[in-house]
């Protein structure tokens, strides 16, 4: 899923292309205006655009999340937002195939950085290893096509009711939610999503975007103070910095 993600899209693509070299990536773009589509095309991604008239549309996005993968020729699919990076490699999926797994068990963490720039140019996202456990990000968004026929994701994929042969992995895979990467980034992201989420909020969704800048600042400070080092959980999936 993509709307004006120029600050992170290239690094998201790099994460998945490095860990899953044979993957194909489809960007579901909600009419971005910041060059996100150009970046995705330069990096060999397929683009499917959808138009919600500059409003977040939970219903339309839910339909896309539940249907976009059904014609995939891949064994495994990941249905993720742009800021969701699953720590999984091809060898992991091969092992899960051997074990008969059809859905990965996910443990989600909000990742924490200290960027002073909304563009995130001053930090290496791939080397972050501080975070805080966040249950809503423990999302079943990596699964096997064929054995799984329907996922029935709810709003934001935070829960689902899969149909088919449902076998969760014994191993927990880390999902890095690239969220608290720096206060300027968080404030800008929150403001954009607040402006676009009025219709969702009127329906009782996306209410977490209706918070003040002061609340975001205090929450960001609290997160920074309570963060934990999860290096041992993510070290095998961290990308070596570019020279």
Kindly write down the DSSP assignment for every residue of 47-77, as one continuous string.
EEE---TTS--HHHHHHHHHHTTTT--SSEE
User: What is the predicted pLDDT for the residue at 31?
Assistant: 96
Give me the mean pLDDT over the 194-218 stretch. Answer: 85
Interval 3-54: pLDDT, tens: 999 999 999 999 999 999 999 999 999 999 999 999 999 999 999 999 999 9
CA pair distance 109, 102, nearest whole angstrom: 22
Residue 68: phi and psi, rounded to 5, are -60, -25
CA pair distance 59, 194, nearest whole angstrom: 17
pLDDT above 70 as % of the chain: 99
User: What is the predicted pLDDT for the residue at 130?
Assistant: 97
Kindly write down the DSSP assignment for every residue of the chain, as one continuous string.
-BSS-TTTHHHHHHHHHHHSTT---EEEES---SSHHHHHHHTT-EEEE---TTS--HHHHHHHHHHTTTT--SSEEE---TTEEE---HHHHHHHHHHT--EEEEEEEEEE---SSTT-TTS-GGG--EEEE-GGG----EEEBTTEEE----GGGSS---EES--EEEEEEEEEEEEES-HHHHHHHHHHHHHH-HHHHHTT-SGGG---HHHHHHHHHHHHHH-EE-HHHHGGGPPPPP-
More confident residue, 223 or 119: 119
CA pair distance 39, 13, nearest whole angstrom: 10
CA pair distance 240, 243, nearest whole angstrom: 9
User: What mean pLDDT value characterizes the chain?
Assistant: 94
User: What is the predicted pLDDT for the residue at 243?
Assistant: 43
CA pair distance 183, 47, nearest whole angstrom: 30
CA pair distance 108, 134, nearest whole angstrom: 6
Q: Which residues contact 76 (CB under 8 A, 6 or more apart)?
A: 93, 142, 143, 144, 145
Query: Which of 238, 196, 235, 189 shows the shortest CA–CA distance to 216?
Result: 189
Residue 242 has pLDDT above 60, yes or no: no
CA pair distance 40, 46, nearest whole angstrom: 8
**Looking at the whole model, is its pTM more than 0.85?**
yes
User: What is the predicted pLDDT for the residue at 42?
Assistant: 97
């Amino acid at each position: 899923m993509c709307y004006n993600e120029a600050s992170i899209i290239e690094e998201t693509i790099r994460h998945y292309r490095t860990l899953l070299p044979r993957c194909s990536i489809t960007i579901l773009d909600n009419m971005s205006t910041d060059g996100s589509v150009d970046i995705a095309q330069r990096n060999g991604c397929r683009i499917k655009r959808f138009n919600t008239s500059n409003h977040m549309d939970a219903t339309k996005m839910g339909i896309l999340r539940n249907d976009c993968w059904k014609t995939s020729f891949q064994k495994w699919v990941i249905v993720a937002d742009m800021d969701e990076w699953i720590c999984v490699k091809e060898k992991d999926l091969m092992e899960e195939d051997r074990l008969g797994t059809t859905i990965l068990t996910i443990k989600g963490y909000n990742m924490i950085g200290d960027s002073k720039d909304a563009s995130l140019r001053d930090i290496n996202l791939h080397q972050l290893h501080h975070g805080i456990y966040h249950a809503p990000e423990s999302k079943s968004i990596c699964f096997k096509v064929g054995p799984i026929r329907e996922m029935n994701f709810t709003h934001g994929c935070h829960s689902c009711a899969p149909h088919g042969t449902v076998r969760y992995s014994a191993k927990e895979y880390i999902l890095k939610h690239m969220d608290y990467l720096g206060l300027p980034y968080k404030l800008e992201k929150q403001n954009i999503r607040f402006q676009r989420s009025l219709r969702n909020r009127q329906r009782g969704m996306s209410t977490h975007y209706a918070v003040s800048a002061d609340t975001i600042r205090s929450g960001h400070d609290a997160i920074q103070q309570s963060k934990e080092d999860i290096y041992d959980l993510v070290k095998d999936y961290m990308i070596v910095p570019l020279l």
